[in-house]
Amino acid sequence: MSNPFPGMDPYLEGPLWSTFHNSLIEEIARQLTPKLRPKYRARSAERIVVAAPDPIEMGSFRPRLPDVGVFGRPDVGSDPIEAPSSAVLNAPLILELAQTGETFQTFVEIRTSSGDQLVTAIELLSPSNKRGAGAGEFQQKRSELLASAAHYLEVDLLRIGERFSVTTTLPSAPYFVFLSREDRRPYVEAWPIALDAKLPIVPIPLADGDPDIHLDLSLAFRTVYDLYEYDRDIDYTQSPVVELSSEQQAWADERLKATGRR
């Protein structure tokens, strides 16, 4: 069955996002390739990020409690000042180490066929791009791209975490696409995407005054969802891992009933 939602499926914002993300990156490159020949080429690329796995992607996401607490002082006798200097205290807390590991992040590069010059970078965000230790590393990479001679397109289909930094307040929308053209910086084009809206068709700028080509995000999304039958992996009778507001959940429930998922 096809995606029950008109645009982004909020039920994918969980452990399934990693595999869906990689497939969508490949589909974006595949969709753009015939529009770029012969002067340009689109290829997926990857980089390694060393950080703790994001709990959303690992399926262990829980609401985060404040890092404050009160605990008693270990009892070393009637007066800790008089405790023997050789006394060995048991550790008052046994904690689990936050393991770090290598995460591979994929993205799309459009380069010239002759000279291999980077023309446009296309990022589809993952939770580790927006949260935790990996966010700082990604922001550094984004800053390098924005300081380069390449255009930059960022597709953000995740509701939790930091957004693209701009000087004005962004409208209240769950999803965004941002485009920074090299010749128009510091100005950024933005497409806010409502939960009940289709994913947009967005321009992809090229070099040397060549006209923009276009990326149909909705088509790419539907292709991946249908090809890999993601409806078989999602339990639509439950709430999504990243919770919706009560109003959004009520709308989602109606959509799921109308499409036979409930």
Q: Rounded to whole angstroms, how far apart are CA atoms 107 and 99?
A: 25
Residue 49 is predicted with a pLDDT of 72
Residue 65 is predicted with a pLDDT of 41
Residue 88 is predicted with a pLDDT of 75
Query: Which tens digit of pLDDT belongs to each residue from 59-101?
Result: 555 444 444 445 555 554 555 545 555 677 787 787 655 555 6
Q: Rounded to whole angstroms, how far apart are CA atoms 134 and 53?
A: 9
Residue 91 domain-assigned? no
Peptide bond into 84 cis (omega under 30): no
Query: C-alpha angle 112/114/119, rounded to 5°?
Result: 15
Q: Residue 40 sits in which domain range?
A: 10-58+101-258
Residue 133 domain-assigned? yes
Residue 75 domain-assigned? no
Domain count, the chain: 1
Check if the beta carbon of residue 147 is closer than 8 Å to that of residue 116.
no
Residue 68 domain-assigned? no
Residue 250 domain-assigned? yes
Residue 177 domain-assigned? yes
Region 242-259: mean pLDDT is 96
Query: Which tens digit of pLDDT belongs to each residue from 182-213?
Result: 999 999 999 999 999 999 999 999 998 999 99
Q: Which two tokens stand for residue 171?
A: 């409208």
